[in-house]
Amino acid sequence: MSDRKSIVIIPTFNEAENIIDIINEVLLLKDNFSILVVDDNSPDGTAELVKKKMELNKHRLFLIEREKKLGIGPAYINGFKWAIKNEYENIYEMDADFSHNPYDLSRMQVFLTQNGVDVVIGSRYKTGVNVVNWPIQRVLISYFACMYARIITGTPIMDLTSGFVGYKAKVLNEILNNGIKFKGYAFQIEMKFKAYNLKYNLYEIPIIFTDRVKGSSKLNLSIISEAIFGLITMKISQIFTKIF
Ligand SMILES: Nc1nc2c(ncn2[C@@H]2O[C@H](COP(=O)(O)OP(=O)(O)O)[C@@H](O)[C@H]2O)c(=O)[nH]1
Ligand SMILES: [Mg+2]
C-alpha cells in the first residue's frame, strides 16, 4: 500500500500554534505521507490538538507522547524506531514551525524513491544562503557552524545541521544499531556523518528556510556547546574505531 511507505516525523515542544496547520499541509500533498508527531509533554497542549485531529485521520496521523523535554535527538530516535517497526521505507524529519516548507517534501521524495539516493537533505547552503527572516547573527552562526562541522568531521555536505532530511529505512536501521550520542543540533550532524561513513549516498537539494512566525525557538547554549565540543570527540573516536 503506497500510503504506508512514507512518513514525516515532526518533533514538537510547544507548537500548539503551528501543529494543526502543518499537519493539514502535509496531508494534502499528493504523496500520501503519514505523519508521526513526537511531543515532549508540551505544556501548551500540542498533544491534545494532535489527538483530536487523529480522530478523523486514524490511518495517517500518529502520536508518541514522551514524559518531558529531552531534546530533539532522542525524540527522533523514538520516532525512527516506531517508523521502522511499522515498516515505513522513506522516513523524513521536519520541524513543526514552517521553517521547512512542506511542499519540499514532494521534491525530496522524488530523490529518495526514484533517483537512488539514500539520504536526501533539504539544504540552506547548497546554493548560496537561502535563509529568510533570520537575524544576521543567527545566519552567520548557522553558516559558520556548518563550515566548522564540515571541516572537523570531513563530511562533504554544506548543511550538516539541517533538520529537513529524508532517510531510507535501511540507513536509519544501521545507524540506530550502532547508537546515537547527541541530543541537539549535533544530533543532525552525527546522523549525516554516520550515514556518510557507512557509504550511503547523500544528496543535498536547495531549499528556502524561513524563520518561524508563530511560537518560539528552543535553541539554547547547551545545544550549541554540545555541538562545538562533541564533534571533536566524535571525530577522534571515529579515527580510532575506523567504523564511525
Ligand atoms: N519533542 C521535542 N521537540 C523539540 C525539542 N526541541 C525542539 N523541538 C522541536 O524541534 C523543531 C525545531 O526546533 P526549533 O525550536 O524551531 O529550533 P530552531 O528552528 O533551530 O530555532 C520544532 O518543531 C520544535 O518544536 C525537544 O526537546 N523535544
Ligand atoms: Mg525553528
For residue 148, the model assigns a pLDDT of 94
Name the residue among 2, 113, 1, 9 with its Cα closest to residue 61.
9
118-161 per-position pLDDT tens digit? 999 999 999 999 999 999 989 999 999 999 999 999 999 999 99
| Alpha carbon 242 to chain centroid, angstroms | 26
What is the pairing mode between strands 6-12 and 34-39? parallel
Ligand 1 atom nearest the C-alpha of 39 is 1
222 CB neighbour count, 10 Å cutoff = 11
How far apart are the CA of 95 and the centre of ligand 2, in A? 6
How far apart are the CA of 208 and the centre of ligand 2, in A? 13
188-236 per-position pLDDT tens digit? 999 999 999 999 999 999 999 999 999 999 888 888 888 888 999 898 8
Across 28-48, average pLDDT: 97
Across 97-116, average pLDDT: 96
57-79 per-position pLDDT tens digit? 999 999 999 999 999 999 999 99
Ligand 1 atom nearest the C-alpha of 96 is 23
For residue 162, the model assigns a pLDDT of 97
Instruction: For residues 49 and 184, give the distance between their C-alpha atoms in angstroms, rounded to a whole number.
Output: 25
Q: Is the pTM of this model over 0.85?
A: yes
Instruction: For residues 23 and 179, give the distance between their C-alpha atoms in angstroms, rounded to a whole number.
Output: 30
Band of pLDDT at residue 1, cut at 50, 70 and 90: very low
Instruction: For residues 144 and 136, give the distance between their C-alpha atoms in angstroms, rounded to a whole number.
Output: 12
What domains lie within the chain, and their CATH numbers?
Answer: 2-241 (3.90.550.10)
Percentage, residues of the chain above pLDDT 90: 83
Band of pLDDT at residue 243, cut at 50, 70 and 90: low
Residue nearest to atom 19 of ligand 1 (CA): 217
For residue 242, the model assigns a pLDDT of 63
121 contacts 111 by C-beta, under 8 angstroms: no
Across 174-201, average pLDDT: 94
Residue nearest to atom 18 of ligand 1 (CA): 217
Q: Select from 19, 44, 64, 95 the residue to mutate for testing ligand 1; criterion: most ligand atoms less than 8 Å from CB.
A: 95
Residue nearest to atom 11 of ligand 1 (CA): 95
How far apart are the CA of 220 and the centre of ligand 1, in A? 11
Ligand 1 proximal residues by C-beta, below 6 Å: 11-13, 15, 38-40, 69-72, 75, 95-97, 99, 212, 217-219
Percentage, residues of the chain above pLDDT 70: 97
Q: Which of 43-47, 121-125, 235-239 has the lowest mean pLDDT?
A: 235-239
For residue 104, the model assigns a pLDDT of 98
Ligand 1 atom nearest the C-alpha of 40 is 1
Q: Residue 11 in 3-state DSSP?
A: strand
Q: Where does 15-135 have alpha helices with state H?
A: 19-28, 46-54, 72-85, 104-114
Better-predicted residue by pLDDT, 210 or 238: 210
Pick the ligand that lies closest to the CA of residue 217.
Answer: 1
Residues 6+ apart with CB under 8 A from 102: 22, 25, 26, 29, 94
Which residues have beta carbons under 5 A from ligand 2 (an ion)?
95, 97, 99, 212
